[in-house]
Amino acid sequence: MERILDEYQPIEQTGFRKNFSCMDNIQAVTQFIERSREYRLPLALLFVDYKKAFDSVEINAVSNALAQARVDSAYVHLLEQCLSNTSTSIQLFERKLQIPVENGVRQGDTISPKLFTAALQYAMLILDCEERGYSVNGKNVNDLSFADDIVLISSSTAESEKMVNELNAVSRLIGLEMNMSKTQLMVNQWCDTGTVRLDGKALQRVESCVYLGIELNMVKNITPELNRGRRAARAAFGSIREVSSSAIPTSRHRYSTPQYCQRCVMRLKHGPTTKQSPNP
């Protein structure tokens, strides 16, 4: 089933796929920025953010996506049973509350990311965007996705507005809602200065944006990203200052000093989005 779901995804979707990584998207976006500067082409990048995407996607959308991808009906039925009629419970003092779960895929399950990306692709297939974006090797590229981290690529703010509103409409069909406060527009100096509106409300225009853990801007200035990495490394080192300055022999620590140093280096390289061990 993994092979079937991977084949269902377009090349623009790199999330949770074998032989793909977020670095593919970062490299692609960086190339768009550099080539637009080299040839003085207008470029508008619109970074889309969803509210609790994995918890909001509708189970029916997942089932429809699996059927469209031609997953065996026995697997589809089994997954429907696993996702339907589920509940979670919380305990307040001595009282236990049972809460039914009507939407969403189970975070933590190995198959959940693929179910989510399948549902998202099921919605995006409705869009008619083949003539938008920029031509790369004979194919128009108008979006790049890493799971729900989507960036829309266009040559004008008018085109960006049309694309984001159409994406918002099809996203609602599967239960997803855009976070307007975190959906941001970034344009270069050759692009027009128009306002992009989502459902009639103007989206925020920014000079730089953090995408998949990397701070991007249109002027090829890496200083903000380097400073951000230093701050993250300093914060990581500060969190273990007591351990690193302790006189207790290293052998008594749960983790050795090189492991802590590696954690700081990871923060320095990849910024504050680097995942930490659950037991630091």
Q: How many domains does the chain have?
A: 2
**Domain identity same for 266 and 142:** no
Nearest-angstrom CA–CA distance, 175 and 58: 5
Across the range 181-209, mean pLDDT stands at 95
What is the reported pLDDT for 220?
A: 79
Nearest-angstrom CA–CA distance, 3 and 245: 49
**Domain identity same for 26 and 123:** yes
Please tell me the number of Cα atoms within 13 Å of 63 on its side-chain side.
15
Helix, strand, or coil here: 47? strand
Position 43: which residue type? Answer: L
What is the reported pLDDT for 280?
A: 41
What is the reported pLDDT for 218?
A: 93
Instruction: Please tell me which residue, 2 or 264, carries the higher pLDDT value.
Output: 2
What is the reported pLDDT for 256?
A: 53
What is the reported pLDDT for 229?
A: 76
**Domain identity same for 109 and 151:** yes
**Domain identity same for 144 and 228:** no
Token readout for 191 is 């692009």
Is pLDDT of 278 > 60? no
Using the 3D structure, point to which of 191, 218, 245 is the last residue of a domain: 218
Across the range 77-91, mean pLDDT stands at 87
Query: How far does CA 243 lie from the centroid of its chain?
Result: 34
**Domain identity same for 125 and 55:** yes
Residue 240 DSSP symbol: T
Cβ neighbors of 79 (< 8 A, separation 6 or more) are 62, 63, 66, 111, 115
How does pLDDT run across 217-227, given as a tens digit for each residue? 998 778 777 78
Nearest-angstrom CA–CA distance, 133 and 76: 35
pLDDT averaged over every residue in the chain: 86
**Domain identity same for 18 and 97:** yes
**Domain identity same for 28 and 152:** yes
**Domain identity same for 150 and 70:** yes
What is the reported pLDDT for 264?
A: 61
How does pLDDT run across 96-125, given as a tens digit for each residue? 888 888 788 887 788 999 999 999 999 999
**Domain identity same for 106 and 120:** yes
Using the 3D structure, point to which of 174, 190, 218 is the last residue of a domain: 218
User: pLDDT confidence of 234, banded at 50, 70, 90?
Assistant: confident
Across the range 85-101, mean pLDDT stands at 83
- State the residue range of the domain holding 249: 222-280
How does pLDDT run across 240-263, given as a tens digit for each residue? 776 666 655 555 555 555 555 665
**Domain identity same for 203 and 90:** yes
Using the 3D structure, point to which of 218, 233, 263 is the last residue of a domain: 218
Give percent of the chain with pLDDT exceeding 90: 61
Closest to 193 measured CA to CA, from 156, 152, 143:
156
What is the reported pLDDT for 147?
A: 94
**Domain identity same for 197 and 230:** no
**Domain identity same for 26 and 113:** yes
